[in-house]
Structure 1
Amino acid sequence: MRDTISMVRNLDKHLVDNLYVEAMVLADEARSFFDQRADEHRVLLDNRGRVDFACEALKATTRLMHVIAWLLTQRAILNGELPRHAREEEAHRLGLAAPTDSTVTQQFRQDMATLIVASEDLYDRVARLERQLLGRIQDVAPAPPPSPARDLMARLERAL
């Protein structure tokens, strides 16, 4: 049983660490894109398209920040820096992120659309992992009641 728990924790740590690296790489790609190539995209859009572009840029970066914050929290839990029950607290849950309407992304060039889809995909995978981790907490059966014999022995030891 203990080996199984250890294996699951190691797998969780591996998943969280890999997702964290992926999130940081994607965040760096997004930063680079918005710093260097966003203007050339915006000039090709009409006024409505520019507003859509700004909104979708905010949505993508918000998704990434929610993911990174959640993954950092999970790393802290797995490293013993936060208690396991912190995972259930609302403050440590994955923040909600607005989805992107696929018809909106059709007006953008491929690299912007790819960035949006990648942020949604990463967010969806992390949300699925969060549901699985929280589901494990709920699936944990309560400890069986102590056996009457052990209870009697404990009372006898206390009485002596």
Structure 2
Amino acid sequence: MALMPSLNPRIVEALYAEALVLADEVRQQFEQARRDAVDECEAADDLSNVALSCEALRTTTRVMHCLAWLLNHRAYFAGELSELQLRRHGRLIANMPPSEPDNVAMLSPRVQQLVSESERLYERIERLENAWRGEVPEGPTAIERLRQRLAASMGA
């Protein structure tokens, strides 16, 4: 577990707690926005309903990807995943599509704020991911070890 000096369990736990709170708030606020749209007879406004649905999906997906990444790292720090498993299966999805400004502009100020918070959380985790992926593992790779063994067996 010494290969992650830029990432430690406290950082992961703090981000995980933040992401859980954000996920719950996002769910509540988007659900309330849907109820408000129906109550105010805005159901006829198809464009705002589509914008709300699209941004709800983007925002919740973004937060869920953050949570998945954090859960994988929690499992690693708890000894439930090896570094190899984490490097293979614990990747953050690349190129998460950003929210569409025109859609976000149709949302309430509180929902707009949550969309922005989800984007900032994703960007923070993406920076951690990139820094962690940029770290070079100690020692030779499996291919280098195989080449060394082949060279040794051939007397080279």
Q: Name the TM-score, length of structure 2 as normaliser.
A: 0.76
Q: How many angstroms does 1:95 deviate by?
A: 2.4
1:56: how far off?
A: 0.5
Q: Which residue of 2 aligns with 1:92?
A: 90
Cα shift at 1:39 = 2.3
Aligned-pair distance for 1:36? 3.1
Q: Which residue of 31, 35, 43 corresponds with 1:35?
A: 31
Point out where structure 2 has 5 or more consecutive residues left out of the alignment: 141-156
Partner of 2:144: none
Deviation at 1:141, TM superposition (A): 4.8
Letter in 1 for 2:127: R
Question: Which residue of 2 is the match for residue 79 of structure 1?
Answer: 78
| CA-to-aligned-CA distance 1:91-140 (integer Å, 9 cap, x gap) | 3211243211223211211011111111111111111111111111x2x4
The Cα shift of 1:7 comes to 9.4
Determine helix, strand or coil for the equivalent of 1:8: coil
Separation of aligned partners in 1, 2:75 and 2:113:
31
Question: 1:64 Cα shift?
Answer: 0.8
Higher relative contact order (CA 8 A, sep 6+): 2
Q: Is the 8 A contact 1:87 1:134 kept in 2?
A: no
Give the letter for the 2:107 counterpart. Answer: F
One-letter code of the match for 2:16? Answer: Y
Instruction: Work out the CA distance in 2 between the residues paired with 1:59 and 1:115.
Output: 12
**Greater percentage in helix:** 1
Q: Structure 1 residues 41, 123: CA separation in 2 closer, same or farther (over 3 Å shift)? A: farther
Amino acid at match of 1:132: A
CA distance in 1, matches of 2:71, 2:128: 14
Q: Structure 1: give runs of 5+ residues left out of the alignment.
A: 144-160
Residue identity in the other structure for 1:133: W
Q: Does 2:107 correspond to 1:108?
A: yes
Q: TM-score, normalised by structure 1?
A: 0.74
Which residue identity lines up with residue 12 of structure 2 in the other structure?
A: V
Q: Secondary structure at the match of 2:86?
A: helix
Number of equivalent positions:
135
Pair 1:16–1:64, CA change in 2 (3 A): same
CA contact (8 A) 2:65 2:92 kept: yes
Superposed, which structure 2 residues align to 1:43-82 within 5 Å?
A: 43=42, 46-82=45-81
Could you tell me which residue of structure 2 aligns to residue 154 of structure 1? none
Determine the structure 1 residue equivalent to 2:143: none
Q: 40-49 vs 96-105, which deviates more?
A: 40-49
Task: Measure the CA separation in 1 of the matches of 2:74 and 2:139.
Answer: 26
Alignment check: 8 A CA contact 1:17 1:75 kept: yes
